[in-house]
Amino acid sequence: MISNKNCIIRLSKYKNALVRFKTLGFIKIFSEYLADAVGVTSAQVRKDFSLFGISGNKRGGYQIDALITKLNSILGKNEIQNVVLVGAGQLGSALVRYNSFEKEGIKISAAFDIDPAKITAGAKNSVPVLPLDEAIKFIQKNNIKIAILTVPDVAAQQTFDILMAAGIKGVLNFAPIELKAPSDCIVNNVNLAVELENLIYFVNASLKTD
Amino acid sequence: MISNKNCIIRLSKYKNALVRFKTLGFIKIFSEYLADAVGVTSAQVRKDFSLFGISGNKRGGYQIDALITKLNSILGKNEIQNVVLVGAGQLGSALVRYNSFEKEGIKISAAFDIDPAKITAGAKNSVPVLPLDEAIKFIQKNNIKIAILTVPDVAAQQTFDILMAAGIKGVLNFAPIELKAPSDCIVNNVNLAVELENLIYFVNASLKTD
DNA sequence: TATTTTTTGTGAATTAAATAACATTAATTA
DNA sequence: TAATTAATGTTATTTAATTCACAAAAAATA
């Protein structure tokens, strides 16, 4: 089993780039061009593909349609992925309405919050915001395995523990905390302040050395 | 100059964890505990510190206060960092109001959008949303070097080019596009859909092998 | 004061990932 | 049909990052 996160992220990027190429009317593509679109080397593209048994045609490149199909299948994009979101604050609410998820076949089935003021039954076509109490029941009933965690730092671990009890196996965590997770749950952290801080560091560093 | 992005990200995490330890009343810390809080090994912590000439006391660990000061100085956190945001849509607006940035000494001075409906003069204590036309003038006048880019995919490259013309040197890019950037500008990409897709892949992969 | 314990700091070893290089193959051209 | 060209696929190499392991030093204890 491939366990290189960066490699899988590249597969997603290849897939996205291929969809754009297809939109432009292309039906074949060379590793060189795909590499360019994604910002890697062509050897990297071919190496990644070979890891997943994806092959093209010597001197003929790759068929875009077949390639998209293959990548979608590897990435589990043949069916809609249902996820839940916990913490309907500023960021959480924006993610609920963020249409890039829907475009990618990811559906936020429900949001949960502990604050009664945030609860909304959810008109049709809009995501309901339910009381946190109901999260375990909802998650189990709908057999959901993935959660987005956008609660404040101090609530992050305890909320995470609730998700574990509900059977969640993957969490996209926005709280700037290292969650203590059981070995059968995967946590991907997104820390926007740290990302910015990092950018600031490197910009400052490069401005200094000029 | 250190050019390992992960290393700098760890420094930010150490700093955040140390602030929490300090809040709890600790004044000294061992690499072992800090490692635990951040989810790395103790050797990694000491190695990172040694890269930046940070030293502790044999058998005595590190003084938390001094360590925070040192890390803040390395990360350029001794003064408020002013940034701009371009694209006041769903996600952009949430980031404008996201209080983790302010907590970290990062100030969004202004947001810009091409849509006249989004423009707001900005009451005091709130961030003004200005017409994109005014971005170059504003950025240059305020000597801003960092921008957050939250425009739709199709507008990303051309908006980025405007930022380059204005003298921006670092961009946190949320558009799922590989921006063509000059060598003196740093781009950090955050792609939330890809992050989720990645999580889905690994969760599916691990559920299959059980 | 001498001994033991515990932690740092770092050079060496290991591991993992990316890059380079090239043999192979298929299409194109002569 | 033979020669040439241009792409893939994979093996070898290089590079980078992490982990290991232990000497050195300071604190604690006897």
Q: A67 CB near a chain B CB, below 8 Å?
A: no
Q: Which residue is nearest to nucleotide C21 (CA to C1')?
A: A43
Q: A102 CB near a chain B CB, below 8 Å?
A: no
**Contact yes or no for A203 and B98 at CB 8 A:** no
CA B150, distance to chain mean position in Å, is: 14
**Contact yes or no for A94 and B99 at CB 8 A:** no
CA of B50: nearest nucleotide by C1' is: C9
Pairing of the two strands A28-29 and A62-63: antiparallel
Whether the per-residue pLDDT at B3 is higher than 90: the answer is no
Residues B204 and B199: their CA atoms lie apart, in Å, by: 8
Q: Which of residues 24-83 of A touch strand D (CB under 7 A)?
A: 30-32, 42-43, 46-47, 49-50, 54-62
**Contact yes or no for A74 and B201 at CB 8 A:** yes
- Closest of B182, B118, B121 to residue B150, by C-alpha: B118
pLDDT value of residue A125: 84
* Residue pairs spanning A and B at CB distance below 8 A: 179
- Closest of A117, A110, A115 to residue A95, by C-alpha: A110
**Which positions on strand D lie below 7 Å from a protein C-beta?**
5-11, 16-21, 24-27
Residues B129 and A96: their CA atoms lie apart, in Å, by: 23
pLDDT tens, position by position, B178-190 = 999 999 999 999 9
* SS3 at position B166: helix
Provide mean pLDDT across the span B19-30: 97
pLDDT tens, position by position, B146-198 = 999 999 999 999 999 999 999 999 999 999 999 999 999 999 999 999 999 99
**CA of A121 vs chain B CAs: smallest distance (Å):** 21
pLDDT value of residue A187: 97
For chain B, the farthest-separated pair of C-alpha atoms sits apart, in whole angstroms, at 62
* Per-residue pLDDT tens digits of chain A, which is 210 residues long: 778 999 999 999 999 999 999 999 999 999 999 999 999 999 999 999 999 999 999 999 999 999 999 999 999 999 999 999 999 999 999 999 998 999 999 999 999 999 999 999 877 889 999 999 999 999 999 999 999 999 999 999 999 999 999 999 999 999 999 999 999 999 999 999 999 999 999 999 998 876
* SS3 at position A209: helix
Interface of A with B in 1-60 (CB under 8 A): 1-2, 5, 8-9, 12-13, 16-17, 37-39
Residues A147 and B190: their CA atoms lie apart, in Å, by: 18
Distance between the alpha carbon (CA) of B178 and the C1' atom of D8, Å: 25
**Which positions on strand C lie below 7 Å from a protein C-beta?**
5-11, 16-21, 24-27
Could you give the dihedral angle defined by the CA atoms of residues B85, B91, B95 and B99, in that order, rounded to the nearest 10 degrees?
A: 170
pLDDT value of residue A106: 97
Residues A99 and B153: their CA atoms lie apart, in Å, by: 12
Tell me which residue in A98, A146, A193 faces B104 most closely, judged by beta carbons.
Answer: A193
Tell me which residue in A190, A191, A201 faces B76 most closely, judged by beta carbons.
Answer: A201
Residues of B in contact with A38 (CB under 8 A): 178
In chain B, DSSP finds a helix count (H) and a strand count (E) of 9, 8
The reported pTM is 0.96
Pick among A149, A197, A206 to test the B interface (most B CBs inside 10 A): A197
Q: B154 CB near a chain A CB, below 8 Å?
A: no
**Contact yes or no for B170 and A202 at CB 8 A:** yes
